[in-house]
């Protein structure tokens, strides 16, 4: 992990105020978050047990996991860990609260020596479950069909396979049996339906796609995975794309992807690659795509495998929480949701890694600004 901040822009770069440069973050040296890694290892089995104890509930287990991890970030480290005051002192001594560049200094091994307060963890799981349950109780989606396991999501061992430009869902090596192979179609999805899925089921709970594609088992009406895209609309992203030599008016964002529980493990990366090919044929003017993930909570592996392997921006992130769905219970609010929210707000207390913006080129840029060895920070 690079820890030197380079503040002097190169001669051909003109960055907006508030932006600087660090030496390049790449897919081979992504920053790591030991605290969130430790919390994931405790949260995941705890949620699995919660789902096992409540077999009659119909929610997405991944949504509950992410909401729990988000919400834990709003607690003080002394509340989450026994002897957390000692851990907090170690974090302070390592500059953990001064800059996200210091987060990787604290190893998962060190953090794992501190015991997690299970009462706090279970309290957060129950709080976030109540929010998800209330949201889904008002949903107009066919939740039984989306969230129940069937066909390629009924058992482990399924994966997406490409052959001669076509997609198939195949189970293991025994795909000679008609029960072990399904033809997959990639088609456009009604945008209203897609955004309802993103609002109710995607862990960001903020719909913003203007175009959506879906993966369908042939002859079925409901997609088992939906990807959302939109034109680049934030000015800072347009400025950075210009500095990389792309016309931002000809660049799109990959904004959302939701797959039903139990979908084949490589659904996201296979779908993303196929979607880019589909859209590039339909919209030959597209020069590049951008997307983002936060390494404190996700690995980004599916996006990287889908061709998003250039880190162009590290955007400082502090989570916000508001009481929206259930009075008195707090859920994560994105900046877009905050724009229309007027209630009380909680902020994350545990420092987390920045959101990393990724670039997926379609064509060679029209100009070269020499910033391939740098990542913009804000």
Report yes or no: 206 and 334 within 8 Å, Cβ to Cβ. Answer: yes
Strand order in the sheet with 310-315: 5-6, 20-23, 374-377, 310-315, 355-361, 288-293, 251-259, 225-231, 211-217, 181-189, 166-171, 158-163
Residue pair 311/375 in contact (Cβ under 8 Å)? The answer is yes
Pseudo-torsion of CA 43, 270, 187, 223, nearest 10°?
-30
- State the distance between the two ends of the chain, measured CA to CA, in whole angstroms: 18
Q: What is the DSSP letter of 116?
A: B
Top pLDDT among 19 and 64 is at 64
The neighbour count for residue 93, using CB atoms within 10 Å, is 9
Confidence (pLDDT) at 271: 94
Mean pLDDT, all residues of the chain? 89
- What local confidence, expressed as pLDDT, does residue 4 receive? 35
Q: How many CA atoms lie within 13 A of 8 on its CB side?
A: 1
Q: What is the mean pLDDT of residues 228-237?
A: 93
In whole angstroms, give the CA distance from residue 183 to residue 21.
Answer: 46
Alpha carbon distances (Å) from 227 to 29, 95, 140, 166, 191: 27, 39, 19, 18, 10
CA distance 300 to 30: 10
pLDDT in tens, 299-333: 888 888 888 989 998 999 999 999 999 999 999 99
Q: What is the mean pLDDT of residues 116-125?
A: 97
Q: What pLDDT score does 365 carry?
A: 79
Please check the confidence at residue 265 and state whether its pLDDT lies above 80. yes
> For residue 73, is pLDDT > 80?
yes
Q: Is 37 exposed, middle or buried (0-12, 13-18, 19+ CB in 10 A)?
A: middle
Q: Above 80 in pLDDT, residue 1?
A: no
Q: What is the pLDDT of residue 91?
A: 96
Alpha-carbon radius of gyration of the chain: 21
Q: How far is CA 8 from CA 21, 77, 345, in A?
A: 8, 36, 36
For 141-186, write each residue's pLDDT tens digit. Answer: 999 999 988 888 876 788 898 888 899 999 876 555 566 889 999 9
In a 10 Å sphere around its CB, with 0-12 CB exposed, 13-18 middle and 19+ buried, how is residue 335 labelled? exposed
What residues form DSSP beta bridges with 345?
322
pLDDT at 216 over 60: yes
Task: Please report how the helices 118-137 and 61-72 are oriented relative to each other, as an axis angle in degrees rounded to 10.
Answer: 130
- Please compute the mean of the pLDDT values over residues 41-59 and round it to a whole number: 93
Q: Are the C-beta atoms of 125 and 52 separated by less than 8 Å?
A: no
Span of 117-131, 206-220, 234-248, 363-377 with lowest mean pLDDT: 363-377
Give the CA distances from residue 176 to residues 171, 182, 218, 349, in Å, rounded to whole numbers and listed in that order: 10, 11, 18, 54
Q: Are 263 and 171 in contact (CB under 8 A)?
A: no
CA 290 from chain center: how many Å?
Answer: 13
CB atoms within 10 A of CB 158: 23
Say how far apart CA 144 and CA 230 lie, in whole Å.
Answer: 29
- pLDDT at position 173, please? 60
Query: What are the b/e assignments for 250-272, b being 16+ CB within 10 Å?
Result: bbbbbbbbbbbbbbbeebbbbbb
C-alpha to C-alpha distance for 256 and 212, rounded to whole angstroms: 9
User: What does the pLDDT average to over 253-258?
Assistant: 96
Residue 7, pLDDT score: 31
User: Quick one: average pLDDT of 260-266?
Assistant: 90
Token pair recorded at residue 361: 């080129």
Least confident of 10-24, 69-83, 92-106: 10-24
| 210 touches 254 (CB < 8 A) | no
Give me the pLDDT at residue 157, please. Answer: 84
The kind and range of the H/E element at 62 are: helix 61-72
CB 143 within 8 A of CB 136: yes
């Amino acid at each position: 992990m690079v820890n030197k901040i380079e503040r002097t822009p190169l001669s051909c770069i003109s960055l907006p105020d508030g932006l600087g440069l660090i030496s390049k973050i790449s897919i081979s040296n992504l920053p790591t978050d030991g605290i969130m890694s430790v919390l994931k290892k405790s949260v995941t089995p705890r949620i699995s047990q919660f789902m096992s104890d409540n077999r009659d509930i119909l929610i997405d287990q991944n949504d509950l996991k992410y909401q729990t991890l988000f919400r834990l970030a709003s607690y003080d480290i002394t509340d989450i860990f026994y002897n957390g005051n000692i851990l907090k002192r170690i974090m302070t001594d390592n500059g953990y609260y001064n800059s996200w560049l210091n987060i990787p200094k604290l190893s998962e091994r060190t953090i794992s020596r501190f015991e997690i307060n299970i009462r706090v963890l279970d309290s957060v799981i129950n709080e976030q479950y109540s929010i998800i349950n209330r949201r889904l109780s008002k949903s107009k989606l066919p939740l039984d069909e989306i969230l129940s396991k069937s066909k390629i999501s009924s058992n482990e061992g399924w994966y997406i396979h490409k052959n001669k430009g076509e997609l198939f869902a195949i189970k293991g090596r025994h795909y000679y049996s008609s029960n072990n192979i399904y033809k997959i179609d990639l088609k456009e999805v009604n945008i209203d339906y897609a955004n309802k899925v993103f609002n109710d089921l995607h862990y960001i709970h903020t719909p913003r796609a203007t175009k959506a594609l879906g993966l369908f088992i042939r002859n079925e009406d409901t997609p088992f995975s939906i990807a959302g895209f939109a034109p680049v609309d934030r000015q800072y992203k347009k400025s950075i794309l210009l500095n990389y030599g792309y016309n931002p008016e000809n660049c799109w964002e990959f904004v959302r992807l939701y797959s039903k529980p139990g979908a084949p493990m490589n659904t996201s990366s296979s779908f993303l690659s196929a979607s880019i090919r589909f859209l590039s044929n339909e919209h030959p003017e597209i020069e590049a795509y951008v997307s983002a993930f936060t390494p404190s909570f996700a690995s980004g592996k599916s996006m990287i495998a889908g061709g998003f392997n250039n880190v162009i921006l590290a955007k400082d992130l502090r989570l916000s929480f508001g009481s929206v769905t259930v009075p008195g219970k707090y859920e994560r609010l994105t900046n877009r949701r905050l724009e229309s929210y007027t209630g009380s707000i909680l902020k994350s207390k545990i420092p987390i890694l920045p959101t990393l913006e990724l670039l997926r080129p379609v064509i060679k840029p029209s100009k070269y600004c020499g910033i391939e060895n740098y990542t913009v920070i804000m």
